[in-house]
Every structure is written in C-alpha cells, then in structure tokens.
Amino acid sequence: MNMVRLTPADLEPFRRISTCIVASAIETFGVRLANAGFASSSLQCIFEDLPATVGYAATARVRSAVPPMEGHDFYYDRTDWWNHILATPEPRVVVMEDVDRPPGRGAFVGEVNANILMALGCAGLVTNGAVRDLNEVQQTGFQMFAGNVAVSHAYAHVFDFGGAVEVAGLQIRPGDLIQGDRHGVQIIPLEIAGKIPAVAHQIMRRRQHLIGLCRSTEFSVEKLRQAFKEPAHK
C-alpha cells in the first residue's frame, strides 16, 4: 500500500506533542496492538530537554567490536550510504542497528558524524549502539537515542544500509515515520499520521478536564465516574 507522507510543515505539530499523547491517539484507531510500535526502555534519550524529534527513517547496520574485512579508513569507507539518507524524505531520522553482541562497544556517531547528519537533513539518531561527544553534540540541537555512551568509536563502521533493522525490540523499515522524546521512540503509522494531531488535542483536553475535576473543591468519586463516561471529544 502506498502511503501519503506528510510534509515537514505537516509534521511540525509532532515536535510539540509528547510521544505519550501520540501513543494514546494511535490506540484510538485500532491499527496495531497497544503493546507494539515502540522501543523498549533499553533505549536512552540522550538530551531530555530537547523537543520531540520526528522524521522518516533512513536505516543502516553497523559494527564496532571488530574491524571490517576490507577497507582502511573503516570509519568513513561507506560514504555511499549518504545517498540513501538523501533519498529519504525530509525530515530524516537515521536509525542504526548495531549487530554486535553485546552492541555498543564503540560509537559511530559523535561530534563529526552528528554534524554530517545534520547537513544531510537529519533531525536525530536512533541506535541500540553507542554515541559519544555529548557536550559538543548537545550544542547543535541534534537529538540522539542510544543504548549506551562510549569513549571511543572503536571499529565502528557501516556495513549495510537501506533495509529493515531492529532497535530495542522495535522493527523499523526505511521510510517509517519515527517520533521520539524523553519517554522513548515509536513509529507513527503513515496511514493515520495526518489524523493524529487533532485526536491528540482531544486527548489533552480530556486529560485537563479530568485533572481539573480531581483538583476541584467540588470533587467527588461520582463526578469522576461520570466524567469518564462522557465522550472523549467533549
């Protein structure tokens, strides 16, 4: 099925709505199980104070524990994967699966690669592997979600790109719409993406109504029960 991708302007609301609200909005459409579509808690949000990151996935697989069998400048040998990134609609989020066991011996993305990815129109990185140069990267506004932090890049190198990957239990395909913030990372189904912001705002209004009732001097359990029976769009 061909999905209509949203433009960068259409995606801007997702930078202002938390992943929690978006996850609740997705549930209302019944397009996937409530326990699917998001990464496990093994994935860390590196810069929690940044707004939510949203973009289309450009995928790659990396290793860092051992050197590649070919190539001398292993860190930058596979520059052809930059073309794959540019073929992905903007905004872009790079998703890297570190296939080492355990992953994260070395960090592929640090200060230099973060700036390269930003120059290629990427808003952030999602990886089960490691990242580094946190102080320098934080100043750029480039967001990173990673399994751990490492001192060195070790033998980090891209050996494959453009296919399906798995990061923190979440299977991600090229072109998937990714959203992440301090709570974690999830996929927004493309077939309902354009409808999510309106539903999310309904959920936020309902939340505020319930919270306001709980804080009211006129609070009662019966009023709370009644509030939960009211239509969500009210």
pLDDT tens string 189-207: 999 999 999 999 999 999 9
CB 57 within 8 A of CB 173: yes
185: CB partners within 8 A, 6+ apart: 19, 38, 39, 43, 126, 145, 167, 168, 170, 178, 179
The pLDDT, as a whole number, for residue 233 is: 54
- As a whole number of Å, the end-to-end CA separation of the chain is 34
Helix, strand and coil content of the chain, in percent to the nearest 5, comes to 30, 25, 45
The pLDDT, as a whole number, for residue 71 is: 54
pLDDT, tens digit (0-9, with 9 covering 90-100), for 25-84: 999 999 999 999 999 999 999 999 999 999 999 999 999 998 876 655 555 678 899 999
Which amino acid would we find at residue 217? T
CA 24 and chain centroid, separation: 16
The pLDDT, as a whole number, for residue 73 is: 56
The pLDDT, as a whole number, for residue 134 is: 98
Say if residue 91 is preceded by a cis peptide, omega within 30 of 0: yes
pTM assigned to the model: 0.92
Question: What is the SS3 assignment for 100-160?
Answer: CCCCCCCEEECHHHHHHHHHCCEEEEEECCEECCHHHHHCCCCEEEECEECCCCCCCEEEE
The mean pLDDT value of the chain amounts to 93
The pLDDT, as a whole number, for residue 2 is: 47
Residues 37 and 23: their CA atoms lie apart, in Å, by 9
pLDDT, tens digit (0-9, with 9 covering 90-100), for 162-180: 999 999 999 999 999 999 9
Phi, psi of 134 (to 5 degrees): -65, -45
